[in-house]
Structure 1
Amino acid sequence: MTAAPAPADAHVLDPETARRRYVTVSALFWFPIGLYVPSLVLILGERGLALAAVAAVLSSQGLTVALLELPTGGLSDVLGRRAVLAAGGVLSFAGLLLLALGTVPWVLITGIVLMGASRALASGPAEAWYVDMAQAHSGPEAELRTGLSRGSSAMGASLAVATLLGGLLPWLFAGSGLAEATGGLILPLSLPGLLSAALVLCYLAYVLLRLPEPPRAPSTLRSVLGSVPGTIASGVRLATRERVVRKVVLTTAAVGAALGAIELLTPGRAAAITGASESGAVVYAGLATAGFASSSRGRPAPPRSSARLAGGSGRAVLVLVYLCLGAAGPNENDLLHHRVASSARATALSVQSLALQAVASLGGLVAGLLPLGPLPLLLTAAVVGAGALMWVRAVPDGPRPGHPDGADALAAPAASGEPGR
């Protein structure tokens, strides 16, 4: 007589459900960001900040992310994905309100810092949650590219639609007397930030209600905080010693250099061409939307066809980087996740995000100091090209030989603070 199968863990979702919820939470997270992107640099200028001051304020966000990336990644691996995502949503809500309504530099800087803390908290836990679910259901060899690609496509599509809307809102309300009616508190450029804050509440509710997690072993605050430094150290070791992960991190840093320069210089250039901040926001939104839409269309290719035709995820990164930067992402992260244990997955993603944010901040500062013109963009183009060249030599797909789940490549320390293997 055949034994009945063990009941499934109620906290483990089937792959399709996990993919669907990961896609949804990715869209809900990035839509508010896309809404305020076109107006951020412009509203800082409207509040009286010069371009160099705007660059400094924006760099404070990158600095905040750089300082908090690894601690928050370690916290997610020790405390849980959902709690950290929810905390990021709360900080994002507060930061967006301050950016939309702030009229003095210290309030705007506080808003930027809160947004940086939110980005640090949310940079890896959602993706780590999806990979955890996939591997809990199907084992270490679970197919990840499809879910990672769909999540990236949702991010690109969400950013594209939201950025267009965020650029149109100030233009639609230009000349409406909104600033005069509110004593200068609410400008037309404030509206995308206010709408973003409202949508963050929807994101927060979805995280709390739709992302289940298996119960974690009870732990004290002291044991949680004691585990984080060891997890951080493991992440740094992996990023510097494991060849493939090192390539992923350096490529991400190269992309960050480009983003930092583009996001600083393009809005002001668009406003100068059109003659007004509101119409400049529309132009910048159109350009950004085209970029996000192209990235979103390129991302579905990696899961099957591109990786197979290119000879695996490693070679596909090189091939697809010429199509669009976003297309390389799912292949890079597929390589990353097969070399990282679940107990430290968010930390590894935080190392990757740290490289992006830190170099983006540096790129923005350098671009703000250079003369206006083609030089800043030419320099960042050279950096991106160097990042692509690192993938000329193919790397193997899947876990490292002899390490079926990649666990010893990066394993979390025990709750007592003992170092990982």
Structure 2
Amino acid sequence: MAALLDARAARRRFVAVNFLFWFPTGLYIPVQVLLLADRGVSVATIAALFAVHSLTAAGLELPTGGLSDVIGRRAVLAASGVLSVVALAMTALATATWVFALAMVLKGAGRALNSGPAEAWYVDTVHADLGPDADLRDGLARGSAASSVALALGTILGGLVPWLLGLGPDLGASLQRATGGVVPPLSVPLLAGAACSVLYVVHVLIALPEPARPSVGLRAVLADVPRTARAGVRLATRDVMVRRIMLTMAAAGSALGVVELLTPSRAADATGAASSGAVLYAGLACAGFTATALGNRLSPWTARVARSGERAILVAELIVLLGLAVLCATAATRTVGPAVAGYILVYIGLGLASPCLNDFLHRRTDSSGRATALSVQSLALQLVGALSGLVAGVLPGGPAAWLPGVVGVSAGALLWLRTRETPKAPPATEAPATDARDAVETPR
């Protein structure tokens, strides 16, 4: 397959698409709960709405990954952006709970549609330009770092804009009058996110070229998507390297599950009030995204220094484990400094591991199943993260609640002890190629 773009241009566009997708998410993170509460939604109902989002995203991971492998990356990514536009606008303007629930479904579906196709497009394009043995780590690291930077910047701006509008009563009142009271300051970040998602759709349609695919009828799509999803699950269970990658992502999910559940209340305990705890947690979230971006950028360098991607993953797992150990050890105290350091270490380690893991994954899959494999990976992280959070929630408070993450990451680190980097083996479905550029026939 001839390359439509060179690897450097593909990397720039991959970075841009990641930034544009995740920036709106950062914008609404600081205000979403506050907006729902301001509209009269109870805390229990807000939790249920978040569950609707998570279950929708998890339930659609495999079908949407298979859909991307069957009909192409660009159409699926554009659909994810359209759903995000509608979901954010609905959340910003709605007043009824059922509308919020529908917006969560759409948002979850958009998240599932985005899980994998952009990265698959990048890998397919690089393979077409440089061959299947091209080094992917730097591009994957830049893409992941762009996502983290987008979340960090979005979180800062999403919290700052309503605060600034609140500081100027005339400005806030003018906004309310101009919109008939429909758009309070808390809605502004979501509407800005919807506008950014429109730019995302335009970028996807213009900047991510794909080779023409044969037209596929609805019946063929309905048959091929489940078949592709089953093939992705078989690969994840039968290929030794892919199985290790999936289990490592599950271990990452166990860490994220406890950190995201326990950190907000830990911040409130440290400051002595829920409101000031929320401010501290917003700062921590921004610091965590920034730490992930730093880990992403250090990943290729770590692999070179360690002389192996596998050793780099082991180093990353040990950093995450150290961070969790610090959080666990300080859980019964009110000391903030060591706990913040532990939190940062967790996210640096997670960012460090991601590009190396995905580099190995792309060397074990071909274009026909690459998006599905990434969806299986995301599903493993989400499901174990949810389970880890549930277990932590029923354990006694203090250090015990952090144990699911400690145990999970310890098991993940053991997977990478005394191993040698596994050479790329062509997937069983991949036909031998006479030229390196022909090794990937169909973009993900």
The match for 1:157 is 149
The match for 1:117 is 109
Structure 1 residues 39 and 383, CA, compared in 2 at 3 Å: closer, same or farther?
farther
Instruction: Please point out which of 370, 374, 380 is paired with 1:345.
Output: 370
Q: How does 1:293-332 map to 2 (within 5 A)?
A: 293-303=290-300, 305-321=301-317, 322=319, 323-332=348-357
Letter in 2 for 1:196: G
Letter in 1 for 2:313: V
Between stretches 37-46 and 311-320, larger displacement belongs to: 37-46
The match for 1:408 is 428
Structure 1 residues 251 and 170, CA, compared in 2 at 3 Å: closer, same or farther?
farther
Structure 1 residues 408 and 21, CA, compared in 2 at 3 Å: closer, same or farther?
same
Structure 1 residues 284 and 410, CA, compared in 2 at 3 Å: closer, same or farther?
farther
Tell me, yes or no, if structure 1 residue 387 matches structure 2 residue 384. Answer: no
| TM-score, structure 2 as length reference | 0.81
> Which structure 1 residue ranges, 5 or more long, are not aligned?
1-7, 401-405, 412-421
Instruction: Please point out which of 253, 256, 259 is paired with 1:259.
Output: 256
Tell me, yes or no, if structure 1 residue 228 matches structure 2 residue 225. Answer: yes
The match for 1:62 is 54
> Which structure 2 residue ranges, 5 or more long, are not aligned?
320-347, 432-444
Between stretches 235-244 and 344-353, larger displacement belongs to: 235-244
Which secondary structure state, in structure 2, belongs to the residue aligned with residue 394 of structure 1? coil
Per-residue Cα deviation, 1:391-419 (whole angstroms, up to 9, x for no partner): 2242424413xxxxx221789xxxxxxxx
Between stretches 260-269 and 37-46, larger displacement belongs to: 260-269
Tell me, yes or no, if structure 1 residue 37 matches structure 2 residue 34. Answer: no
Which secondary structure state, in structure 2, belongs to the residue aligned with residue 300 of structure 1? helix
1:162, 1:213 → 2: CA distance? 30
1:370, 1:56 → 2: CA distance? 21
Q: CA deviation at 1:362?
A: 3.8
1:268, 1:255 → 2: CA distance? 21
Q: CA deviation at 1:312?
A: 1.4
1:41, 1:398 → 2: CA distance? 47
The match for 1:92 is 84
2:181, 2:409 → 1: CA distance? 41
Letter in 2 for 1:379: P
Identity of aligned residues (%): 54
Letter in 2 for 1:319: V
Given that residues 339 and 407 in structure 1 are in contact (C-alpha distance below 8 angstroms), is that contact kept between their aligned partners in structure 2?
Answer: yes
Which secondary structure state, in structure 2, belongs to the residue aligned with residue 38 of structure 1? coil
2:200, 2:395 → 1: CA distance? 38
| TM-score, structure 1 as length reference | 0.85
Given that residues 61 and 112 in structure 1 are in contact (C-alpha distance below 8 angstroms), is that contact kept between their aligned partners in structure 2?
Answer: yes
Instruction: Please point out which of 47, 67, 73 is paired with 2:65.
Output: 73
Given that residues 127 and 134 in structure 2 are in contact (C-alpha distance below 8 angstroms), is that contact kept between their aligned partners in structure 1?
Answer: yes
1:268, 1:408 → 2: CA distance? 49
Instruction: Please point out which of 284, 289, 296 is paired with 1:287.
Output: 284
Q: CA deviation at 1:259?
A: 3.0
- Higher helix proportion, which one? 2
2:161, 2:396 → 1: CA distance? 31
Given that residues 238 and 409 in structure 1 are in contact (C-alpha distance below 8 angstroms), is that contact kept between their aligned partners in structure 2?
Answer: no
Superposition CA RMSD, Å: 2.7
2:136, 2:385 → 1: CA distance? 28
Between stretches 170-179 and 71-80, larger displacement belongs to: 170-179
Which secondary structure state, in structure 1, belongs to the residue aligned with residue 216 of structure 2? coil
Q: CA deviation at 1:109?
A: 1.7
Structure 1 residues 102 and 120, CA, compared in 2 at 3 Å: closer, same or farther?
same
Report how many aligned residue pairs link the two structures: 396
Structure 1 residues 18 and 124, CA, compared in 2 at 3 Å: closer, same or farther?
same
The match for 2:329 is none
Letter in 1 for 2:148: G
Structure 1 residues 258 and 49, CA, compared in 2 at 3 Å: closer, same or farther?
farther
1:80, 1:201 → 2: CA distance? 20
2:161, 2:351 → 1: CA distance? 27
